[in-house]
Structure 1
């Protein structure tokens, strides 16, 4: 039955689901793969914990979609993975050894529970996943990545930096998309970042980066980035968008989650008429609202945009005096105090709006859940995939 055997596919999905304790299976897969193909080990960073987690979540998602007999989204997902994996230097040989290692790892995991039906479903599912990735990578003729030079690094708060680069060649992306970035301090560790300006034909790009507790890459970027550093950027991902014919818009940004929404807003300024856009921009302290002056400038010239600043605390900490004053001129809405989910839902459920939420996974989840609890249709809410 193969891909039509939903029971067998469900067993495979449950085996790789991190919620069910799949680390032994996933660890065994990588151990087996690296043993039979030593060149594959060089594709990954020394610490594999995060990679194993991402791989398990990706397998769980794809197999879950196959169980539900939904093909379109996993096909698109796997094709994008194949195109994106070119940046690591993945070759056709690596796909062959990966396919063999994954089949063997499933067989070893199930042991005496291994049946002909399970073998057939495993073979067909793995062949489908590897085949889609391999085919998309082989069909893609553009460069797998582009390099650029850091030309400016501004420390705008204690844990947020704005970094501007000049790319060797323009990188074309849609407003709201994100890319993966590799910095010289951490080779082979790619971090997701969203450009904060629309694609520039001259090759300019800007990122807003927030240092995450325990995050090695973000901490290194903020503490060590210097003009002249060479960064590497992958092809773009994501589908956040504003439909100009889809009605008014609510945007909710937590800290550097502002970046993709700022790009969308800047892109909208190309038109004289737009749907109304209301942006809630939140941070822990008032000084964390680092980009308010820019937002005020855009709102002052575009009457369709309104901005509500939100901070959890009403006053700044003493260290705020070491960083630029972010208080905008008079013209923005009065700053609100509280957490974003609570402040946003004070105004109702926004159920008639296109809703875009960007920021940390906890904030995005809390805001989405608060809106849905107020009666917002879930299908009207957009956000990027949350970290697993």
Structure 2
């Protein structure tokens, strides 16, 4: 009997010349990891560009747009995101397999919790040994009460000598880990932190810094600023913090302490998006991206951390103002759950 539907076939992908089989509907990254290739990767949802590689031959079907995380030069050179690319033909790619950051699984226990807003809790964990990371990066966090499930959270402080780490955990509807952290006392509960991941850390330079945070996206921004303040950074800073209402603002004392310590102009602009017309708030209102063009110039280096819609809107605003794509660094806080291997 004849059929109108053609069965999808597996494809062959050559990674730096070495062949492997990519199953139907499988991404290049999934096939590489399944085959034991230590392919550079981090978020797995197309938001960090850690898995970028150059497509030498063949065609792929992209699951999401890569223009927001790859520069115009990279796109012109044929770079793709392995985690979002399903081969449409046999393909060949080139990738620096040494680019994968050194990632480790470290055990520890919950030391303390502190409610920051109605839906964000600070989680402090004492690790059994130190974990090396750059301020701005994130890790996979797992708790013993949840078995094999883990969630990506950014470190909220620079690396500490006492091996303590902090995360800002926002409660997500239906999120098992975030609900647990925001609703239960977890003091003493065993934890696993696997990382670091991500490439949103402070790059060297002398031009002004523009930092934009939304919600729990303040964690990596705060970590970068704390780290830079300790090194007597002299670059002007503009920090825009987007929240819904005044009660959703937090870490204001910490931001003020950084501002006082900073050895250059430091401008902090909280922007509230869900106020009524008769609200007493006298600060900036609306979407944080609407206020961005006033505070940026072409020479700025920008760091964006928070909800994907906010990051995308701010990226577009920065590009429209002439900021080079390679000077924009972003961490799009997608809801991504993974499974981690227990030691």
1:342 counterpart residue number:
290
On the 8 A contact 1:341/1:370 being kept in 2, the answer is yes
Q: How many angstroms apart in 1 are the aligned matches of 2:322 and 2:215?
A: 26
CA 1:66–1:208: 2 relative to 1, 3 Å:
farther
Distance in structure 2 (CA, Å) of the matches to 1:69 and 1:373: 20
Counterparts in 2 of 1:280 and 1:348: CA distance versus 1, 3 Å: closer
CA distance in 2: counterparts of 1:365 and 1:237, whole angstroms: 21
Match of 1:361 in 2: 308
SS of the aligned residue for 2:114 comes to strand
Structure 1: give runs of 5+ residues left out of the alignment. Answer: 17-21, 34-52, 79-105, 111-117, 316-326, 328-333
Q: What is the distance in 2 between the residues matched to 1:361 and 1:222?
A: 23
**In 2, distance between residues paired with 1:56 and 1:264?**
23
In the alignment, what sits opposite 2:202? 242
Q: Deviations over 1:181-202 (max 9, x none)?
A: 1122322222111111110111
In the alignment, which residue of structure 2 is the partner of 1:291? Answer: 251
TM-score, with length taken from structure 2: 0.69
Q: How many residues align?
A: 286
In the TM superposition, residue 136 of structure 1 has moved relative to its aligned partner by: 9.5
TM-score, normalised via structure 1 length: 0.61
- Alignment gaps of 5+ in structure 2: 1-11, 35-42, 58-74, 337-343
State the distance in 2 between where 1:273 and 1:221 align: 34
Aligned position for 1:227: 187
Say which SS state the counterpart of residue 174 (structure 2) adopts: coil
Q: Superposed, which structure 2 residues align to 1:125-204 within 5 Å?
A: 144-204=104-164
The DSSP-based 3-state class of the residue aligned with 2:258 is helix
Residue 308 of structure 1 pairs with residue 269 of structure 2: yes
**1:1-388 correspondence runs (5 A):** 3=14, 22=25, 54=44, 65-67=55-57, 121=90, 144-304=104-264, 305-314=266-275, 335-345=283-293, 347=294, 349-384=296-331, 387=334
> In 1, Cα distance between the equivalents of 2:244 and 2:46?
33
Q: Call closer, same or farther: CA 1:252–1:273 in 2, change over 3 Å.
A: closer
Provide, for residues 256-297 of structure 1, a one-character-per-residue CA deviation record: whole Å limited to 9, x for no partner: 111111111111122334211111111111111111121112
2:62 corresponds to which residue? none
- Once the two structures are superposed, residues 198-230 of structure 1 have per-residue CA deviations (whole angstroms, 9 ceiling, x without a partner) of 101111111111112333322222223511111
Distance 2:134 2:80 in 1: 19
How many angstroms apart in 1 are the aligned matches of 2:248 and 2:332? 24
Hey, what's the Cα distance between the residues in 2 that align with 1:245 and 1:384?
20
Which secondary structure does the structure 2 equivalent of 1:268 belong to?
A: helix
**Distance across 1 between alignment mates of 2:271 and 2:103:** 41
Deviation string 1:13-37 (CA, Å, 9 cap, x unpaired) is 9x97xxxxx4xx68xx99xx9xxxx
**Cα drift, residue 71 of structure 1:** 9.5
Instruction: State the distance in 2 between where 1:273 and 1:62 align.
Output: 31
Return the offset for 1:243.
Answer: 3.3
Give the structure with the higher percent strand. 2
Indicate the structure with greater helix content: 1
Contact 1:244–1:275 (8 Å) recurs in 2: no
Larger Rg: 1
Q: In structure 2, do the counterparts of structure 1 residues 148 and 372 end up closer, same or farther at CA, with 3 Å as the change threshold?
A: same
Task: Summarize the Cα distance change of 1:239–1:211 in structure 2 as closer, same or farther, 3 Å threshold.
Answer: same
